[in-house]
Amino acid sequence: MNVSLVVFQGPSASGKSTLQALLGLPRIVTWTSRAPRAGELDGVDYHFAPRQTLERMKDAGDMLETSEYRGHLYGTSLASIEGTARGAGLRSIVLDASGARVARALLGERALLLGVAASRAECEARLLARGSDAAQIAARLAGYDEEIAALSGCDLIVRSGDGALERAGEIVQALRPLLGA
Ligand SMILES: Nc1nc2c(ncn2[C@@H]2O[C@H](COP(=O)(O)OP(=O)(O)O)[C@@H](O)[C@H]2O)c(=O)[nH]1
Ligand SMILES: Nc1ncnc2c1ncn2[C@@H]1O[C@H](COP(=O)(O)OP(=O)(O)O)[C@@H](O)[C@H]1O
């Protein structure tokens, strides 16, 4: 069975987006009601929109799935995922555990769930480096244990240890033949 969607899942600042960029597949851009971080671009990192817009899309049946995460609403639009079920080329997406379950239900084995793990201390240091304040870091790490435990639902787990970016890149590149990419 050919993989059509690589789903990155893992705790905050575990390195999901970094590994996704290293893999270099077309990305499905999801929606969020949270504010952009410094350097994040609308339509590139996320579609940034007010919560009401996301709720309207959800009520109109335009969302495949939505998820509440740390006080914000996230969601994958049906339009963005269109074609994936028909095998219109290999793509990637970053989702939490509930979103990953929806991807699995929709695509079965054509979704490859890739868990990204890093230690709590590594995630904390990266959040600090990303400019988060103490309250934001505490909120982000509150779900750490649960998010690590949820990686048991993944097909494969990559450890994104500090200083291991190069190695992570190699691991991700090693996936390419497996994916037919
Ligand atoms: N279910 C679902 N989760 C999403 C979606 N977009 C992003 N996420 C998840 O939302 C969580 C928060 O993402 P973000 O605010 O970018 O924080 P980060 O994980 O600290 O970079 C992460 O676990 C993402 O995987 C989506 O459309 N649906
Ligand atoms: N293996 C790694 N070693 C060191 N720093 C990393 C590693 N992976 C990611 N980072 C850094 O950690 C921060 C969070 O990574 P990111 O990929 O945005 O995490 P996520 O998408 O899981 O929230 C970024 O500043 C990134 O450059």
The CATH number covering residue 114 comes to 3.40.50.300
Q: How far apart are CA 40 and CA 31, in angstroms?
A: 13
CA of 44 to the centre of ligand 2 (A): 17
Confidence tier at 172 by pLDDT (50, 70, 90): confident
Model confidence pLDDT, tens digit, residues 93-152: 999 999 999 999 999 999 999 999 999 999 999 999 988 899 989 999 999 999 999 999
- Is 56 found in the same domain as 129? no
pLDDT for 58: 98
Confidence tier at 178 by pLDDT (50, 70, 90): confident
Q: Which strand (E) or helix (H) includes residue 117?
A: strand 111-117
Q: How far apart are CA 176 and CA 181, in angstroms?
A: 5
Report whether residue 75 contacts ligand 1, using a CB cutoff of 6 Å: yes
- Is 157 found in the same domain as 144? yes
- Is 153 found in the same domain as 78? no
- Is 57 found in the same domain as 24? no
- Is 40 found in the same domain as 100? no
- Is 74 found in the same domain as 111? no
Please list every protein residue whose CB sits less than 6 Å from any atom of ligand 2: 10, 12-18, 126, 129-130, 160, 162-165, 168
Model confidence pLDDT, tens digit, residues 8-27: 999 999 999 998 998 888 99
- Is 78 found in the same domain as 94? no
* ipTM confidence score: 0.98
Q: Where are the alpha helices (DSSP H) in the chain?
A: 16-23, 51-59, 78-81, 97-107, 120-129, 134-141, 144-149, 165-179
Report whether residue 69 contacts ligand 1, using a CB cutoff of 6 Å: yes
Residue 34 pLDDT > 70, yes or no?
Answer: yes
CA of 96 to the centre of ligand 1 (A): 6
Model confidence pLDDT, tens digit, residues 101-113: 999 999 999 999 9
Q: How far apart are CA 120 and CA 117, in angstroms?
A: 9
Pocket test for ligand 1, best of 7, 44, 74, 93 (most atoms within 8 A of CB): 74
- Is 12 found in the same domain as 67? no
Model confidence pLDDT, tens digit, residues 40-95: 999 999 999 999 999 999 999 999 999 999 899 999 999 999 877 776 789 999 99
- Is 103 found in the same domain as 17? yes
pLDDT (average), residues 165-171: 73
pLDDT for 104: 97
Report how many domains make up the chain: 2
- Is 109 found in the same domain as 46? no
Q: Which domain holds residue 47?
A: 29-83
Query: Which residue in this structure is represented by tokens 């793990």?
Result: 117
- Is 120 found in the same domain as 63? no
Confidence tier at 29 by pLDDT (50, 70, 90): very high
pLDDT for 164: 64
The CATH number for 42's domain is: 3.30.63.10
pLDDT for 130: 85
Closest C-alpha to ligand 1, atom 22? 96
Share of residues in the chain with pLDDT > 70 (%): 97
Closest ligand relative to 172 C-alpha: 2
